[in-house]
Amino acid sequence: MKSVVIGTAGHIDHGKSALVRALTDIDPDRLKEEQERGITIDLGFAHWQADGINFAFVDVPGHERFVKNMLAGVGGFDAVLLVVAADESVMPQTREHFEICRLLRIPAGIVVLTKSDLVDADTIELVRLEVRELVAGSFLEEAPIVPVSSRTGDGLDLLRAALVSCGRAARLRPSAGPARLPIDRVFTMKGFGTVATGTLVSGQIGLDEELEVLPGGRVIKVRGIQVHGMRQERASAGQRVALNLGGVETSDLGRGDTLLTPGSLEVTTMLDAVVEVVPGGKALRHGTRVRFHQGTHEVLGRVAVAGMADGTSSEVRSPTSEVAEIPAGGRAYIRLRLESPAVVTRGDRYILRAYSPPMTIAGGAVIDPRPARGGIRNAAARRRFVCLDPLQGPESGVRSPESEVRSPEPARDASERALVWMIEESGAAGLPAGAAMSRAGLAPEVAREITAPLLRAGAIVQAGDRLVDGKVAAALAAQVVSALEQYHREQPLWEGMPREEVRERWFGPAAPALFDLVLSDLVTAGKIVARDRLALAGHTLALTSAEERARDTLERAFRDGGLKPPDAASLSALTGGDQGLVDRMVKLLIRQKVLVKVETLLFHADALRRLREDVMALKRETAGARLDVGAFKDRYGITRKYAIPLLEYLDRERLTRRVGDVRVVI
């Protein structure tokens, strides 16, 4: 069954709770104080079913002192009932609640003129005109206006029909991807324990699943699920949900916490955003301390104004200027520094209220929840803000804010543009693949749809769990080739550059897997050979004729010497007394693994291979074969000078094991 969350909004004592009660036969005022005083103080909840749709009602307080409670519920609305009493018309909290809904981009709604039985038809028509003037140009511009009397029941059937029509048109929230449930209420239920409620804004939650609580990072288990008072095995996005939680006390949770699929989102204390200042209000000044409301969370922070986002000017004023402010009705870019962590991702809507006295002053959308530290008032920062702005693009310029709701394709284009920018901005370190959700705000399947063609085209590459700009990977590959060319010129007797030296010099800050990916691509393209050392494909040692003769002579001397290799004096004599030439060629033979160093001695690799084979044959011939130093010397005709290092070599090769003064062949 489709689920739609309907919220109320409007001035105090305009009949919001009475309206919900008349529609659902459920009293949303659950607190004793609310019932005694006759006003709504905190969020109230009710539900109603019609035409195969579950309507979950969230009743919010209208008193100005409780707007922060209202904000804790409004973020989960699919549609709003803007309630205006026919005997009072538009009042201050009507305007503030309407502005909040507009700034949060509530997609749809119905205007309800309550207490219609207290006035005549002319008054209702006058109120209707005043409401139309209030909502002109907004998401409620063409919304139905329904006069209702909760006392007599007049108009309720028309309102129910309008609700059904609104519910049919409501978009389904994304059930795929990670679960996200901002908590709006926590309490203890006898016999069950801790219960948390909220609107599941994305994903699904099933019985016995583990969820992460942010801020804090505690992992808890879901022991029970209720939707509209009915037990369920699974809850889906768009539903009002009550979760019975294990492993946590009520004191450990509270309004403002968020339940999430583990690892899907992160906390932040700094974010970049676009902001719209309420028309007719005060300007928003640089450095203003504000109350940041997102989901059910409220946190204090300060605003740093980056510049206007209206498309009329790219000028950014000095941060020390006394006129660094956003005028009423203006749209701008800001950086918010929060005083405690918040759980947000790109695309989240938020509200700003003045620190004192608290009043709604602005709202907008998060465009980057974890921006890199740096200046925000220069040309590069301006380009970055414009690129991340969902309502601007390189070709299209500024669009109407309402198009953000009505046209999904521009939003998709903006998401791709933002993700690519974040990948480019991350450089060689790359953007973690999980950041497509936690930072770019994209569901996993959407992120895959966006990145797949970019990966195929080489615009980006995937190195392990990181997405890296294809231009960065190509530049690193070119740098490796250039470095090897220079190395071969300067070191003609070396087979190539040490692999780890290349990694440290050019891939220090890069994603670890990027190094292996770049080398693999260069090998596949036939440009390099990658072993312990890296070399250009086709590279050969540039030996002079004298060096070639010396190399061959030394190699033959060690081969012929077997387990009694020549000493330094004889090597020098073999090459005409040029000790420098001997040293260079010996090092070359060691690098080529023709010679093997055993302690201070050098042996030909073939001699050591034959020794290993002979010892293994000895084991096959004699069970429990043993060797002592004397027997070893006699068997191979060598002195103690060679026998001791070779026996220790066999120990290291795990062919023998020393037991006292003898070696056991193993």
What's phi and psi for 280, nearest 5 deg?
80, 0
> What is the separation of C-alpha 193 from the centre of its chain, rounded to a whole number of angstroms?
33
- In eight-state DSSP terms, residue 655 is S
Around Cβ 508, how many Cβ atoms within 10 Å? 9
Contact 46, 54 (CB under 8 A): no
DSSP string for 310-366: SSS------TT-TT-EE-TT-EEEEEEEEEEEEE--TT-EEEEEESSS--EEEEEEE
Contact 111, 84 (CB under 8 A): yes
559 torsion bin: left (phi>0), alpha (psi -120 to 50), beta (else): alpha
pLDDT recorded at residue 544: 78
CA distance 455 to 373: 28
* Environment class of 614 (CB within 10 Å of its CB; exposed 0-12, middle 13-18, buried 19+): exposed
Assigned token pair, 136: 């002109």
CA distance 99 to 661: 92
- In eight-state DSSP terms, residue 215 is T
Per the DSSP assignment, residues forming a β-bridge with 494 are none
0.75 exceeded by the pTM? yes
Around Cβ 319, how many Cβ atoms within 10 Å? 14
CA distance 416 to 382: 19
Contact 270, 367 (CB under 8 A): no
- Residues 6 or more apart in contact with residue 655 via CB below 8 angstroms: 612, 615, 616, 665, 666
CA distance 310 to 166: 32
Going by their DSSP bridges, the two strands 204-206 and 234-236 should be labelled as antiparallel
- In eight-state DSSP terms, residue 653 is T
CA distance 485 to 389: 44
CA dihedral 70, 73, 79, 85 (to 10 degrees): -30
pLDDT recorded at residue 479: 96
- Residues 6 or more apart in contact with residue 137 via CB below 8 angstroms: none
Domains of the chain: 2-169 (3.40.50.300), 180-260 (2.40.30.10), 267-406 (2.40.30.10), 606-665 (1.10.10.10)
- Residues 6 or more apart in contact with residue 548 via CB below 8 angstroms: none
* Environment class of 65 (CB within 10 Å of its CB; exposed 0-12, middle 13-18, buried 19+): exposed
pLDDT recorded at residue 30: 56
Spatial CA neighbour of 15 closest among 108, 82, 102: 82
Average pLDDT for runs of 10 along the chain of length 666 = 90 91 82 49 81 89 63 81 96 92 93 96 96 95 96 96 94 86 90 89 94 93 90 92 91 93 94 95 93 93 91 43 76 96 94 90 95 89 91 50 45 85 94 91 89 94 95 96 93 87 93 95 94 88 82 93 91 83 89 92 96 91 87 94 95 92 90
DSSP string for 223-254: EEEEETTEE-SEEETTSEEEEEEES--GGG--
Assigned token pair, 545: 């004729």
CA distance 418 to 384: 9
- In eight-state DSSP terms, residue 278 is P
pLDDT recorded at residue 411: 63
Strand stretches in 499-637, DSSP E: 528-530, 533-536, 595-598, 601-604, 626-628
CA distance 211 to 203: 12
CA distance 368 to 344: 9
Contact 575, 553 (CB under 8 A): yes
* Environment class of 509 (CB within 10 Å of its CB; exposed 0-12, middle 13-18, buried 19+): exposed
